[in-house]
Amino acid sequence: MGNHISYQTSECEILLPGTSGCVKGLQNGTQSRRFAGIPYAQPPVGDLRWRKPQPYPLQQLTAGQPGDTYDATRFGPVCPQPNYSKAVSSHGRPKHTYHEDCLRLNIWTPVPDPQVRNPRWPVVIWFHGGWFQIGDPSQEPGMDPTELISTAQLNAIFIAVGYRLNVFGFLAGEALREESAGQEVGNYGLWDQRIALEWVYQNIAAFGGDPENITISGRSAGAYAVQAQVLYDFRGEMEEAMRNKFRRLYMHSNAIPSQPKTVQDCEPQFDELCQHFGISADLTGAEKLKKLRAISATDLCDAIMKLKHHTFRPVTDGVFIHPGVFNYYRNGSFAAEFKRRGLRLFIGEVRDENTLYAVTNGPEANLESLKLQVSNYYSPATTDRLLRHYVLPDSTDKQEWQSVFGQIIADGQVRAPYRFLVNNLLEHGVDLKDVWRYLIAYRLSFITEKVAPASFGVSHSMDRPIWNYSIMHGPSPAERVLMDDWIRDLVAFVNDQPDYDYGTRSADEYKVMTPEGKIEVQKDGRWDSLLQLMDVFSGLMCRRSAKPSASPSLTLSLLLDNHPACMQRHSLRTSPCVEDGSKHLEGSKLPDLSDAQGQGAMIFVDQPKQLVLMPYFPGTLVRQDPASLSRAPLWDTTIVGLNNRSLIVAQNQEQLVSIFLRDYLPPEASDPKDQSPIHWVKLFPSFSQSVLPVVRTALTALTLAHVASLRKDHNLAQYSRHHYVQAIQQICTLTDIDYVSDLVRSAMILALYEVCAQPSGQEDAWSVHVQAAGKLASESNFATDLLNTQDLRRLRTIEVGSSYS
């Protein structure tokens, strides 16, 4: 089935400015021109594998070419990639040559009017999807943008970008960090895209495009990449002239849900790859990389699906993707920059995003397999949060486990983060007219059972023919009308039509292509719940609208290295813990800090994945080997939460604060001096997200002090304040940090708590904190404009010593 549309194809040429050369492409009748396979960067082969791309100037295209003409009539190679599953491949891909020499552009333009000199068409840059593992920029027949440009009247240049994928584009590890002297590591595919953006900005005028009128866009991983490119443009270290290469963004079915893995998180994947190829762990990083670069692209690609850690994704490298991504959103900085630049966003989803995710690298019917597959997407801490949040099957039905996996990934990659992005922009002052969102719930008739099972519904990427205006696939007459009506929004968006009314009137409304084939503005029934879910993905564990319980929902048993109180034994039976760090303790009575009166239990690790609970003796801390006693500061200890006979281990400070924010939510007090530190943390999300252990320690100590106050435990209060002072002293000496704004805010919240909870010492407390913040701000050239209006109001609140309002 399909429309038989054919074009009279002929060759066409454009002259390259500043040279005597030209680029030869193909013209499809009066519909479009195509210039394919144009290199924008040097081939990333040999020693350039796993390095930032090197630019390929347009003027080099014709060097050594017959007649000074570059032949752009054929598509170039596509990045080598594995074949994931029949479910994915059934969506159809063109036949290509696979090669690492894949950093190429495919450019479609309108056919110029002979009467118009130097046309200035809008430009759409497209990043293809495919989980960052697969995909291509070639646009198989019937899916290319010819009809979109012409019949649908987009009247813009469309550029599809080829970039490195999977192991070629996103391998990360300490060896690569060392090689780059602490600069870029991983994210090579994102760097490719960045170079492509720069190439387009510098050269698209030669093709008739307007470099000041660029829209960047993508589906799935391509949409994720759009958001990453915007973040880099906002926060990256570059000259101002190199910024703002785009004015609009449209993102289909993806966004960034959580802080990407660190390079350290990716080390097991790097090690597994080396082990697969027999590369000794005893070699230096440079020696390992030399051997990996000697392996053929085919062998590397074939190895991917044989790895446990088979998914290679963007990482937090501190250069392209910085730590504290969600701090940057929540403190309003992202929205402020978005608004300052006058950007616009068009974003949305399809109805059944989860069905394709469920069958793509889905788990076996057990928790270990589910955890492994989820961890291929997310950091260990995020994975643990998700597995605690979702209801897991208690059966051995593989489809049930795959269904949960599909829900987790669809919620995390699409549903929750895109709503968060929209809400964040609107909450911080971006106008609704500049943020459009949609839902496609209609399945086109030509997407038959052979293409995708009916059980898939309207699955991830099934909207491609709609957005590409792929009328060659053969929509029914009614569907053709539906596609015409729907695509008008995209045409208006790309062409920046000033008086166009999208039709939505509130943040929780979107435009829907209904299952019946109508277009309506509807309320989003999952708006609130998915915004709350985003807190789980991103690590902000406090609830948005639920009222805290009247008493702490969880008691905390803490390892204290010098607790002055007399500790007594508790009878707690344990056995080796499962890998997710939790264990149900059958038949055990758990100690409750609320009535312990200074009693507690000591916890240490004597074997991997095994917890042993022992009586605590004042002045000792048993770690690793029960025979060896040592003392440690509070921020080096292991902290556990006990709730409903479930033991949760915080292996690091991020998990520690997650436990506090998730499970210790005391009631909000009428008197500010009675407020828990958790109350203030909820007002300063960046505090809880800080990567600084001493900042986490200060929160821990303050929370202990609050518990001690409630329980009238003066010894515990004295102990907690001692560690609090130690933490503040450490904070005052820190200068080598990633984000001064986070630390300044941390000092602010600590000061706020001190002023409210300890009014008798407010001058001293204020002096300590403000001096620390001021010292850091001056020594690190902290930009005061990074503090938003709420931050400044809080500073004034602290300064006058009044209660928070």
User: How wide is the angle at C-alpha 785 spanned by C-alphas 779 and 788, nearest 5°?
Assistant: 120
CA-wise closest residue to 166 among 55, 84, 88, 286: 84
Q: Give 709: exposed, middle or buried? Use CB within 10 Å, 0-12, 13-18, 19+.
A: middle
Name every residue whose Cβ is closer than 8 Å to that of residue 30 and which is 6 or more positions away in sequence: 111, 150
* Angle between the N-to-C axes of helices 714-733 and 740-757, in degrees from 0 to 180, rounded to the nearest 10: 150
Task: Check residue 2 and give left, alpha or beta (phi > 0: left; psi -120 to 50: alpha).
Answer: left
Q: Both tokens of residue 6?
A: 């054919």
SS3 218: strand
The residues, any chain, with a CB within 8 Å of residue 96's CB and separated by 6 or more, are 75, 77, 78, 136, 138
CA dist 510 to 95, 306, 417, 527, Å? 37, 42, 16, 10
The CA-based diameter of the chain, rounded to the nearest angstrom, is: 92
Domain architecture of the chain: domains with CATH: 9-528 (3.40.50.1820), 546-659 (no CATH), 666-805 (no CATH)
Q: Is 220 among the catalytic positions?
A: yes
479 Ramachandran zone, left/alpha/beta (phi>0; psi -120 to 50): alpha
In this prediction, residue 576 carries a pLDDT of 25
Q: How many CB atoms lie within 10 A of CB 114?
A: 6
Taking alpha carbons only, the member of 128, 102, 167, 127 closest to residue 312 is 167
Q: How far apart are the first and last CA of the chain?
A: 65
CA distance 362 to 407: 11
HEC string for 416-439: HHHHHHHHHHHHCCCCHHHEEEEE
Q: What is residue 539's predicted lDDT score, i.e. its pLDDT?
A: 83
State the CB neighbour count (10 A cutoff) for residue 108: 28
Residues of the chain with pLDDT under 50: 1-2, 4, 86-94, 541-667, 672-674, 677-678, 680-689, 691, 735-740, 752-770, 772-773, 776-777, 779-805
Strand blocks (E) in 45-177: 69-71, 104-109, 121-127, 157-161
* Residue of 509, 605, 512, 590 whose CA lies nearest to 559: 605
Contacts of 106 (CB under 8 A, 6+ apart): 34, 35, 36, 37, 38, 75, 137, 138, 139, 159, 160, 162
Q: What is the pTM of this model?
A: 0.70
How deeply is 334 buried, as exposed, middle or buried, from its count of CB atoms within 10 A (0-12, 13-18, 19+)? buried
pLDDT of residue 83: 82
Half-sphere exposure of 548 (CA within 13 A, CB side): 22
Residue of 150, 217, 220, 741 with catalytic role: 220
pLDDT value of residue 62: 86
Residue 117's identity, in one-letter code, is: R
Q: Which long-range contacts (CB under 8 A, 24 or more apart) does 796-803 make?
A: 797/752, 798/748, 798/751, 798/752, 798/755, 798/766, 799/766, 801/755, 801/759, 801/762, 801/766, 803/671, 803/672, 803/756
CA angle 742, 746, 748 (to 5 degrees): 120
CA 502 to chain centre: 28
pLDDT score for 721: 63
Element (H, E) at 479: helix 477-494
pLDDT value, residue 727: 59
d(CA 71, CA 80) in angstroms, rounded, equals 23
Dihedral through CA 561, CA 566, CA 570, CA 574, nearest 10? 10
Residue 450 corresponds to which tokens in the numbers above?
């052979």
